[in-house]
A and B are shown apart, each in its own frame.
Chain A
Protein backbone atom coordinates (compact mmCIF):
# COMPACT_ATOMS: atom_id res chain seq x y z
CA UNK A 1 0.00 0.00 0.00
CA UNK A 2 0.90 3.66 -0.15
CA UNK A 3 1.54 3.99 3.54
CA UNK A 4 1.69 1.96 6.74
CA UNK A 5 -1.82 0.99 7.71
CA UNK A 6 -2.85 0.07 11.25
CA UNK A 7 -6.13 -1.28 12.49
CA UNK A 8 -8.18 -0.68 14.44
CA UNK A 9 -7.45 3.01 14.92
CA UNK A 10 -9.13 2.90 18.33
CA UNK A 11 -9.83 0.01 20.63
CA UNK A 12 -11.53 0.01 24.00
CA UNK A 13 -11.35 -3.27 25.86
CA UNK A 14 -12.15 -4.58 29.30
CA UNK A 15 -9.36 -5.50 31.65
CA UNK A 16 -8.47 -9.15 31.29
CA UNK A 17 -9.51 -9.48 27.64
CA UNK A 18 -7.09 -10.27 24.81
CA UNK A 19 -6.57 -7.82 21.94
CA UNK A 20 -4.96 -8.06 18.51
CA UNK A 21 -3.50 -5.07 16.75
CA UNK A 22 -2.72 -5.22 13.08
CA UNK A 23 -0.07 -3.53 10.96
CA UNK A 24 0.12 -3.58 7.18
CA UNK A 25 3.50 -2.20 6.11
CA UNK A 26 4.42 -0.51 2.87
CA UNK A 27 4.63 -3.08 0.11
CA UNK A 28 8.19 -4.35 -0.29
CA UNK A 29 9.39 -3.16 3.12
CA UNK A 30 11.16 -6.03 4.80
CA UNK A 31 11.72 -4.41 8.19
CA UNK A 32 8.79 -3.76 10.53
CA UNK A 33 8.86 -2.16 13.98
CA UNK A 34 6.43 -1.87 16.85
CA UNK A 35 6.64 0.99 19.36
CA UNK A 36 4.40 2.05 22.20
CA UNK A 37 3.65 5.66 23.07
CA UNK A 38 2.26 6.29 26.52
CA UNK A 39 1.74 9.46 28.51
CA UNK A 40 4.83 10.23 30.46
CA UNK A 41 6.82 7.40 28.89
CA UNK A 42 7.54 8.71 25.44
CA UNK A 43 8.08 6.21 22.68
CA UNK A 44 9.39 2.82 23.66
CA UNK A 45 10.60 0.11 21.35
CA UNK A 46 8.76 -3.20 21.56
CA UNK A 47 9.97 -5.51 18.79
CA UNK A 48 11.19 -5.52 15.24
CA UNK A 49 11.00 -7.98 12.34
CA UNK A 50 13.38 -8.57 9.51
CA UNK A 51 11.22 -10.57 7.13
CA UNK A 52 9.29 -12.98 9.30
CA UNK A 53 11.88 -13.32 12.04
CA UNK A 54 12.19 -11.15 15.13
CA UNK A 55 15.87 -10.66 16.01
CA UNK A 56 15.07 -8.29 18.87
CA UNK A 57 12.12 -8.77 21.18
CA UNK A 58 13.82 -7.04 24.06
CA UNK A 59 11.23 -4.31 24.39
CA UNK A 60 8.20 -6.53 24.97
CA UNK A 61 7.09 -5.55 28.50
CA UNK A 62 5.93 -8.97 29.64
CA UNK A 63 5.07 -12.45 28.40
CA UNK A 64 1.50 -11.22 27.86
CA UNK A 65 2.81 -9.46 24.75
CA UNK A 66 3.61 -11.34 21.56
CA UNK A 67 3.92 -10.47 17.90
CA UNK A 68 4.14 -12.35 14.68
CA UNK A 69 4.64 -11.59 11.05
CA UNK A 70 3.67 -13.88 8.24
CA UNK A 71 4.51 -13.77 4.56
CA UNK A 72 6.95 -10.95 5.21
CA UNK A 73 4.06 -8.54 5.26
CA UNK A 74 1.27 -8.09 7.81
CA UNK A 75 2.14 -8.19 11.50
CA UNK A 76 -0.09 -8.64 14.50
CA UNK A 77 0.71 -7.60 18.05
CA UNK A 78 -1.27 -9.56 20.61
CA UNK A 79 -1.76 -8.53 24.21
CA UNK A 80 -3.26 -11.19 26.45
CA UNK A 81 -5.14 -10.50 29.68
CA UNK A 82 -4.92 -6.75 29.16
CA UNK A 83 -4.17 -4.49 32.12
CA UNK A 84 -4.86 -0.79 32.54
CA UNK A 85 -1.17 0.02 32.21
CA UNK A 86 -1.32 -1.38 28.67
CA UNK A 87 -3.36 1.66 27.64
CA UNK A 88 -1.27 3.53 25.08
CA UNK A 89 -0.92 4.27 21.40
CA UNK A 90 0.74 1.39 19.59
CA UNK A 91 2.70 2.56 16.57
CA UNK A 92 3.96 0.43 13.74
CA UNK A 93 6.64 1.49 11.27
CA UNK A 94 8.32 -0.08 8.28
CA UNK A 95 11.45 0.49 6.24
CA UNK A 96 12.89 -1.01 3.10
CA UNK A 97 15.39 -2.93 5.22
CA UNK A 98 17.17 -2.66 8.54
CA UNK A 99 19.99 -0.93 6.66
CA UNK A 100 17.84 1.97 5.49
CA UNK A 101 17.71 5.08 7.59
CA UNK A 102 14.38 6.41 8.74
CA UNK A 103 11.07 4.64 8.94
CA UNK A 104 7.56 5.38 7.80
CA UNK A 105 5.13 5.25 10.69
CA UNK A 106 1.47 4.36 10.68
CA UNK A 107 -1.09 6.49 12.53
CA UNK A 108 -1.23 4.07 15.41
CA UNK A 109 -3.85 2.16 17.37
CA UNK A 110 -5.08 3.88 20.52
CA UNK A 111 -5.76 1.16 23.08
CA UNK A 112 -7.79 1.96 26.17
CA UNK A 113 -8.21 -0.71 28.83
CA UNK A 114 -11.13 -0.04 31.17
Chain B
Protein backbone atom coordinates (compact mmCIF):
# COMPACT_ATOMS: atom_id res chain seq x y z
CA UNK B 1 0.00 0.00 0.00
CA UNK B 2 1.09 3.55 -0.56
CA UNK B 3 -1.12 5.49 1.83
CA UNK B 4 0.09 8.13 4.21
CA UNK B 5 -2.74 9.37 6.39
CA UNK B 6 -3.22 12.35 8.65
CA UNK B 7 -6.14 13.94 10.44
CA UNK B 8 -7.34 17.04 8.62
CA UNK B 9 -7.60 19.62 11.39
CA UNK B 10 -6.11 20.46 14.76
CA UNK B 11 -6.91 23.48 16.90
CA UNK B 12 -4.81 24.47 19.93
CA UNK B 13 -4.44 27.47 22.20
CA UNK B 14 -1.33 29.59 22.03
CA UNK B 15 1.30 28.30 24.45
CA UNK B 16 -0.02 24.74 24.47
CA UNK B 17 1.70 21.81 22.79
CA UNK B 18 0.44 20.55 19.44
CA UNK B 19 0.71 16.94 18.39
CA UNK B 20 0.15 16.09 14.75
CA UNK B 21 -0.13 12.42 13.90
CA UNK B 22 0.58 10.45 10.76
CA UNK B 23 0.33 6.80 9.80
CA UNK B 24 1.98 5.16 6.84
CA UNK B 25 1.68 1.72 5.35
CA UNK B 26 4.90 0.99 3.51
CA UNK B 27 7.43 -0.91 5.62
CA UNK B 28 10.25 0.00 3.21
CA UNK B 29 10.12 3.66 4.22
CA UNK B 30 13.65 4.87 4.89
CA UNK B 31 13.20 8.51 5.82
CA UNK B 32 10.11 10.26 7.09
CA UNK B 33 9.63 14.00 6.81
CA UNK B 34 7.54 16.82 8.15
CA UNK B 35 6.87 19.81 5.92
CA UNK B 36 5.06 23.06 6.71
CA UNK B 37 3.01 25.03 4.18
CA UNK B 38 1.88 28.56 4.90
CA UNK B 39 -0.86 30.17 2.78
CA UNK B 40 0.27 30.88 -0.78
CA UNK B 41 3.70 29.39 -0.21
CA UNK B 42 5.51 26.23 -1.15
CA UNK B 43 6.40 23.53 1.34
CA UNK B 44 9.16 24.14 3.85
CA UNK B 45 11.10 21.19 5.26
CA UNK B 46 10.80 21.24 9.04
CA UNK B 47 12.54 18.08 10.08
CA UNK B 48 13.08 14.45 9.15
CA UNK B 49 13.84 11.19 10.87
CA UNK B 50 15.62 8.09 9.68
CA UNK B 51 13.58 4.93 10.02
CA UNK B 52 15.95 3.29 12.52
CA UNK B 53 15.46 6.16 14.99
CA UNK B 54 12.72 6.45 17.59
CA UNK B 55 12.92 10.12 18.36
CA UNK B 56 14.47 13.32 17.12
CA UNK B 57 14.35 16.69 18.84
CA UNK B 58 15.05 20.02 17.20
CA UNK B 59 14.32 23.07 19.35
CA UNK B 60 10.53 23.21 19.79
CA UNK B 61 9.96 20.22 17.51
CA UNK B 62 9.98 16.59 18.61
CA UNK B 63 9.45 13.76 16.15
CA UNK B 64 8.46 10.34 17.45
CA UNK B 65 8.52 7.25 15.26
CA UNK B 66 6.92 3.94 16.12
CA UNK B 67 8.13 1.75 13.31
CA UNK B 68 6.20 -1.30 14.49
CA UNK B 69 2.90 0.56 14.29
CA UNK B 70 4.05 2.72 11.35
CA UNK B 71 3.08 5.81 13.31
CA UNK B 72 4.85 9.15 13.16
CA UNK B 73 4.08 12.24 15.22
CA UNK B 74 5.25 15.83 15.35
CA UNK B 75 5.05 17.68 18.64
CA UNK B 76 5.36 21.44 18.65
CA UNK B 77 6.06 22.82 22.11
CA UNK B 78 4.79 26.27 23.15
CA UNK B 79 2.73 26.66 19.96
CA UNK B 80 2.61 30.20 18.59
CA UNK B 81 0.24 31.91 16.15
CA UNK B 82 3.04 31.80 13.58
CA UNK B 83 2.82 28.01 13.67
CA UNK B 84 -0.62 28.15 12.04
CA UNK B 85 -0.17 26.34 8.74
CA UNK B 86 -0.75 23.00 7.03
CA UNK B 87 1.66 20.27 8.10
CA UNK B 88 2.44 17.38 5.80
CA UNK B 89 4.14 14.15 6.66
CA UNK B 90 5.86 12.27 3.87
CA UNK B 91 7.75 9.05 3.49
CA UNK B 92 10.54 8.04 1.20
CA UNK B 93 10.86 4.43 0.10
CA UNK B 94 13.94 2.41 -0.73
CA UNK B 95 15.03 2.82 -4.32
CA UNK B 96 12.50 5.53 -4.91
CA UNK B 97 14.92 8.13 -6.19
CA UNK B 98 14.05 10.30 -3.22
CA UNK B 99 10.44 10.43 -4.39
CA UNK B 100 8.12 11.25 -1.51
CA UNK B 101 4.60 10.11 -0.77
CA UNK B 102 2.74 12.83 1.10
CA UNK B 103 -0.14 12.70 3.50
CA UNK B 104 -3.17 14.89 2.92
CA UNK B 105 -1.94 17.49 5.40
CA UNK B 106 -3.16 18.63 8.83
CA UNK B 107 -4.33 22.20 9.15
CA UNK B 108 -3.14 23.58 12.49
CA UNK B 109 -5.04 26.55 13.86
CA UNK B 110 -3.57 28.35 16.85
CA UNK B 111 -6.04 30.38 18.88
CA UNK B 112 -5.27 33.17 21.31
Contact = CB atoms under 8 A, between A and B. Distances in A.
A33 B43 contact: no
A56 B43 contact: no
Given A42-B103, A42-B105, A102-B48, A91 B43 contact: yes
A65 interface: no
A98 B42 contact: no
Contacts, number: 58
Given A42-B104, A101-B92, A48 B99 contact: yes
Contact of A105 (B40, B42, B103): B42
A62 interface: no
Interface residues of B, number: 23
B82 interface: no
Nearest to B101: A45
Task: Specify the main secondary structure of chain A where it touches its partner.
Answer: strand
Contacts of B41: 107
Interface of B is mostly: strand
A95 B97 CA distance: 11
Q: Which residue among B35, B40, B42, B96 has the maximum number of chain A CB atoms within 10 Å of its CB?
A: B42
B42 A95 contact: no
A98 B88 CA distance: 20
Contacts of A105: 35, 42-44
B99 A103 contact: no
Interface of A: 4, 31, 33, 35, 42-45, 48, 50, 55-56, 91, 93, 95, 98-108
